[in-house]
Amino acid sequence: MTDFAATKAMFDLPEGVIYLDGNSLGPLPSAAKDRVANMMTEEWGKMLITGWNKAGWMQKSTAVGNRIARLIGAEEDHVIMGDTLSIKVYQAVASALEMNPSRKVVLSDNGNFPSDLYIVQGLLKSLGAEYELRVVDPEAVAENITDDVAVLMLTEVDYRTGRKHDMKTLTAKAHEVGALTVWDLAHSAGALPVELAGCKADFAVGCTYKYLNSGPGGPAFIYVAPRHAEVARPALSGWLGHEAPFAFDLDYRPGRGIERMRVGTPPVIQLTSLEAAMDIWDQVDMQDLRAKSIELCNLFIAEAEAACPELELASPRDGDQRGSQVSFRFREGYAAMQALIERGVIGDFRAPDIMRFGFTPLYIDANDVRAAVAIVKDVMTNDLWDNEAYKQRAAVT
């Protein structure tokens, strides 16, 4: 069984803080400080540019991708790191559309993260007026997977409510009508077991700065199924995705397999930080993590509802139907969250009225949950949120 007390000791967690926002930004793995410092002084500092060869910097994108592959049920050598999640969404959707040229519809839902929708809107405008982004309610996705859909693009876990799509069922339905799938795992990777190969997903993307704890601005990843790896053409034809980048040819030739999905220079410092986090993940069984996550979320829901009847549960009550977060609606959710943060319980807010709490068993336990609920009860029962200072919106909510 996974020793979650041991993993908790591997993070730098500020004294007096209960951190329930790892679904937005994971905390600092203690080992990352020395690992990054060593990379900067011993590799960058002493090796200078020779570090690309001597320290293996160029191979990090694939090596780290393979470590993440275990957590998302992907085949070896079919996950590559680099760039941002928005860029990886663009790559995946553009490639999938080109592989389905007779169709012009991308289907998504209104629970998707807006950035994914923005990226597709921009892509489709570039492709022409005949292309359409069709957005439906999450519950209506299955019935809208029709034979004019080219690509089904969904975030597996809704960033606001934690509602979880059935990847296997929806992927199978998409394939039945000849559509390809792009799954965003931003709130899945490190939160719950994912089986990309088992579900026969076509493409998947995700970030690493949430549950995977790579640090702010950490690199994203992209997965391409083996059956597509030599076919999918990268719309963003970056030099490191070239078959022979250091031949400096003037014409692009895609690299082999997943390597063609490289775009720019690997972010070596952040990949080094992510390696330190992956050392923790290597000790975690994803089934153990999922069971503990559901247990913690269920405890939080039961205790919070008993203590604070004014909070309305926005997440699915059934643990199997949600990710590793719990969301409550409250009319002054932003102010209430600021009051909680000032008292040491850090969650976050999503418009218009969602108070969002993430539960990561790697460093959150039942004692943390009960202590957090006691503070939530104090803030809600005594209207401590009703303070003008708490109602002034910051740039990041």
Rounded Cα distance between 176 and 153, Å, is 16
**Contact (Cβ atoms closer than 8 angstroms) between residue 388 and residue 329:** no
If DSSP codes are grouped into helix, strand and coil, which group holds residue 134? strand
Calculate helix-pair angle for 85-98, 114-127, nearest 10 degrees.
40
Structure tokens, 246: 């250091």
Is 329 a known active-site residue?
no
Token pair for 255: 């690299």
Is 113 a known active-site residue?
Answer: yes
CB 100 within 8 A of CB 180: yes
180: which residues sit within 8 A by CB, 6+ positions away? 96, 99, 100, 150, 151, 152, 174, 202, 203
Calculate ∠ Cα 42-43-45, nearest 5°. 70
What would the two tokens of residue 25 be? Answer: 């930004």
- Of 60, 104, 262, 356, the active-site residue reads 356
CB 74 within 8 A of CB 205: no
Terminal Cα-to-Cα distance of the chain (whole angstroms): 36
Catalytic residue among 60, 88, 210, 322: 210
Q: Looking at 184, 202, 348, 368, which residue is catalytic?
A: 184
Pick the catalytic residue: 4, 159, 203, 209? 209
* Marked catalytic residue, from 4, 11, 90, 113: 113
246 as an active site residue: the answer is no
Kindly list the catalytic residues.
113, 184, 209-210, 356
